[in-house]
Amino acid sequence: MGNLDGKIALITGAGGMKGIGRATALKLAKQGADIVLSDVQRKPENLPPQEVQARWRSIDSVAEEVEALGRRCLKIWCDLTATGQIEAMARQAADHFGHIDILVNNARAIIGRDRVPITELSEEVWRHFLEINTTAVFLVTKFVGQIMVRQGRGGRIINIASDASKRAKPMTAAYTSSKFAVLGLTQAAALDLAPHRITVNAVCPGTVNTDRLNYWEQAQARAQGVAPEAFRAQVIANSAKATPLGRVAESEDVANLVAFLASDEANFITAQAYNVNGGVLSH
């Protein structure tokens, strides 16, 4: 018996082979939840090399793992730039399982094209980051929140923010702004939904050892004449040296905190933003 038996969890951005979404899906499933997996269907050029080599199939592969744990799983492909698709995703999940108890807003825009000074940042890139990282979180929260309110059984909403939600770095204006906004949205939504026993919290990871595609890392690897995987490994190694605990986060470190916030043990915690960064940032 798990502490999430009978719960239904919807997770966006859940298709990455080493991603937070997959780790969260497996963690919640192991604790008894049935899972709704959502992601966008990416073009081959937008897939990490490791996933291509492993013939990873996004949420199709994750669903097989969830079902191997004995849990039910629904897959929904959803473009988070399309309001109609977001609303349909929430409705389909609720219709399929009868209710939604946990929402994890995990999806985010592919980083890298924003890695320029603000004077060189294109409006198109700026708008894209806000659309995926902020507006989509608002819309998914709105539509799933409506369902949770109608259900009358409370709920948990957990937003995957970032250490960039609390501290800016050079050449990250679009990403940082979009993630700062997630914390404001988390606090406001928590206050609006508190009368319905729906908690809303954020998790703020630092560097996480995923294979997520990063356009800036791709460009740097090409410029140095090395494989993207090798350049990424060096980024991870450098980040580990700068971390007090001596390593970067794994996706499972983030999933562990998400699972706690999704549980009954966290029923008096709302409007908070928790760091998972090994001591790099303390506020």
Active site residues: 175, 179
Q: HSE on the CB side for 233, CA within 13 Å?
A: 6
Placement of tokens 């949770």 in the chain: 148
The SS3 of residue 34 is strand
Separation between Cα atoms, residue 171 and residue 53, nearest integer Å: 31
- Note whether 55 and 93 are within 8 A (CB): no
Alpha helices by DSSP H, 42-120: 49-54, 59-68, 83-97
β-sheet with 155-160: strand ranges across = 73-77, 34-39, 8-11, 102-105, 155-160, 198-205, 273-276
Cα angle: 17, vertex 115, 52; to 5 degrees: 25
Placement of tokens 């239904």 in the chain: 8
Separation between Cα atoms, residue 6 and residue 21, nearest integer Å: 20
